[in-house]
Structure 1
Amino acid sequence: MQNLFTIARIKAEAASNQITSVEISAQRLMLQRNGSPILMDGSRYPRLAKTKPADKLNEALEMLQNF
């Protein structure tokens, strides 16, 4: 249940930053704004350090809050 609340917070945070798509694939946080990817240093997606699903969600939320 906690993961669902975290996902809802991720969606709300993304919307407030005008991010239209959020996807976690392996250790990559793939963000898009208006169909264009948001890349770090212009060449790669942000990387997540955590490996457990709940920890990944919390890390993604923290990244979006500091966006």
Structure 2
Amino acid sequence: MKAHELRDLSMNELNARLEDEVKALQKLRFTKSVTGQLENPARMRHARKEIARIKTVMKEQVSAE
């Protein structure tokens, strides 16, 4: 999801998306540690960037209030 799309979401929706992304990243890390490989290794990078993007938008909204 793009940053401008995230800015349209409420704080509760952002928190929910952040939780989902963190859980997805944890699942990917666990899978990688157990099997030693992933189907799509770029998915971990994408998840980390999405988490950072969500946190940035959340911080913008908090500082704007």
Same fold flag (TM > 0.5): no
The normalised TM-score by structure 2 is: 0.30
TM value normalised by structure 1: 0.30
Going by fraction, where is strand more abundant, 1 or 2? 1
